[in-house]
Chain A
Amino acid sequence: MTAAIEVSHLSFSYDGQTDIIKDVSFSIPKGSYTTIIGHNGSGKSTIAKLIIGLLAAKSGQIKILGEELTEESVYNLRRHIGIVFQNPDNQFIGATVADDIAFGLENHCVPQEKMQGIIEECAAKVGMTEFLDSEPTHLSGGQKQRVAIAGILAIEPDIIIFDESTSMLDPQGKASINAQIKALNQEKNLTILSITHDMEEVAQSEHVLVLNQGKVELEGTPAEIFAHEKMLKSMYLDVPFALEFSHACADAGIDFDAQLTLDGVVRALCRLK
């Protein structure tokens, strides 16, 4: 089986001297949910831009669904891969929600007769049906990010990249987008690559890459990654609140397994005698 995204020996620099990405290799299987974490300046967002073809690599190779990303293939590959950026305002192109969802369809020359149906379907998937005629100024950040997701779903991609998509949202918006991402991965079997600072989101993913100074420092499941708590803290990264709570309980002499999610904590607490 070919990987959804295969990155091998990728290097990149903005100024031609200092490499922001240094010989990075990783592979993301189809249908998986991967998060990339790393402190500011570790090259996370740069990797996203390289994968979507907005930046050109200095050396190395990126394969998307088995096809190498080149200047010629990038336009076609963008039919298979979508990205949701950080700032909800700066990626809302249409005048209304419907227009914005239509933008990607227009670019990919979807026949006009089919658009209305696709737009309604995708708006329903993200729960924005009643806002189809709304203008962006009347939407919250979380709603705008939902529209961005709908716009990407409209072109039926295989892979969606989230580039810190929840970092400008309030806790409620953050939770709803995280739930949406998880649902997309589980129900639609979409490959998700999420770049994030939100450790609660990392805990719900299957696979984690830790970037530090342009290199992959750690790789594994959330449980494996968070076992290196000291190392993460030395890279200015957090661990989920649930894990910190579990450790604190263990330190206090309570028999408590390490938990990554609040649900897990609740369940473990209920089992306590």
Chain B
Amino acid sequence: MNRIALGRYLPLGSIVHEMDPRSKIMIMLFLMISIFIPAGVWGYVLIGIYIMICLVLSKLEFSYALRSMRPMVWMMVFLLIINCFAIRTGTLWFSIFGLGIYSDAIYQTLYIVVRLTLMIIITTILTATTKPLDLTLGIEKLLKPFEKIGLPAHIIAMMISIALRFIPTLIEETQRIMNAQASRGVDMENGSFKEKIMAVLSLVVPLFVSSFDRADQLANAMEARGYDPNKPRTRYKVLHMHSIDYVGMVTSALVLAVCIVLAVVL
């Protein structure tokens, strides 16, 4: 499990780690919107510089952020090929096997690659510097105003945090069932496609059964400890905004504003 870079918390103790999850989510939102505004090359340069500053401040290594992009490489190559076929405007640069490659196809692909790269780096910074539970709390607090229109923010947050809490437990359980089935002769790795499906089924069914049983017991434990989703609760963890949070939100909002201006002017 250690190879999955995307979405893992890294306790590096930087200034970004100390920030309030709410402001980090807001900054991410501002930057995401900025990325989608067609502000031209200078817009991307500005966003790129801002994100690089965030990356440096968060003490994350650039290579780490890039590593989380590895799964996207094939998608980008696929995109380039599609664009080469689909976009036939701009100047003709060169041709391969009689297929003309136009400048717009390359530019368009580059834009998408840059957008994706920036977005992945932002989300990597967010998840690497924020504990999942703090993130949940941040989301809950940000969704709080929508409770007035019937959005159950605290219930959503409770569901997310329980799901996060049980991921390692369920991985352990999966491993145990796999071992148990392997000892009974189920082969997970070899065999035809049909045999593999059957092998996976022998894993999924017991996992489902035990998960439901677990959920039932968990619900009992929560209820016995006085949990009632419809009653008010106090919270143990409280969030505090510091000056760095305001600086971050104001500057990222400025980036967004500049991008909008650039998009309108151009």
The residue of chain A having its C-beta at the shortest distance from the C-beta of B215 within the complex is A90
The reply to whether A112 and B217 contact each other, CB–CB distance below 8 Å, is no
The reply to whether B217 and A85 contact each other, CB–CB distance below 8 Å, is yes
Q: Which stretch in A16-24, A100-108, A175-183 binds the other chain?
A: A100-108
12 pairs, CB–CB < 8 Å, chain A vs chain B: A54-B224, A85-B217, A87-B214, A87-B217, A91-B221, A93-B162, A99-B236, A102-B236, A107-B228, A112-B236, A112-B238, A119-B236
The reply to whether B218 and A90 contact each other, CB–CB distance below 8 Å, is yes
Whole-angstrom distance between the Cβ of B51 and the nearest chain A Cβ = 29
The reply to whether A107 and B218 contact each other, CB–CB distance below 8 Å, is no
A82 and B165 CA atoms in complex are apart in Å by 22
A262 at the interface (CB under 8 A from B): no
| Interface size of A in residues (CB-CB distance below 8 Å) | 38
The reply to whether B236 and A82 contact each other, CB–CB distance below 8 Å, is no
A207 and B222 CA atoms in complex are apart in Å by 29
| Interface size of B in residues (CB-CB distance below 8 Å) | 30
Q: With A85-B220, A99-B236 in contact, do A107 and B169 touch (Cβ < 8 Å)? A: no
A152 and B133 CA atoms in complex are apart in Å by 22
The reply to whether A94 and B224 contact each other, CB–CB distance below 8 Å, is no
The residue of chain A having its C-beta at the shortest distance from the C-beta of B164 within the complex is A95
A49 at the interface (CB under 8 A from B): yes
**Which residues does chain A contribute within 8 Å of B164, judged by CB atoms?**
95
A111 and B225 CA atoms in complex are apart in Å by 17
A234 at the interface (CB under 8 A from B): no
A89 and B162 CA atoms in complex are apart in Å by 12
**Which residues does chain A contribute within 8 Å of B218, judged by CB atoms?**
90-91, 93
B232 at the interface (CB under 8 A from A): yes
B138 at the interface (CB under 8 A from A): no
The reply to whether A83 and B234 contact each other, CB–CB distance below 8 Å, is no
**Which residues does chain B contribute within 8 Å of A104, judged by CB atoms?**
225-226
**Which residues does chain B contribute within 8 Å of A93, judged by CB atoms?**
162, 165, 218, 221-222, 225
B240 at the interface (CB under 8 A from A): no
A98 at the interface (CB under 8 A from B): yes
Chain A, 62-103, contact with B by CB distance < 8 Å: what is the 0/1 string? 000000000000010011001101010111111100110011
A152 and B226 CA atoms in complex are apart in Å by 11
Q: With A93-B162, A102-B236, A136-B165 in contact, do A107 and B225 touch (Cβ < 8 Å)? A: yes
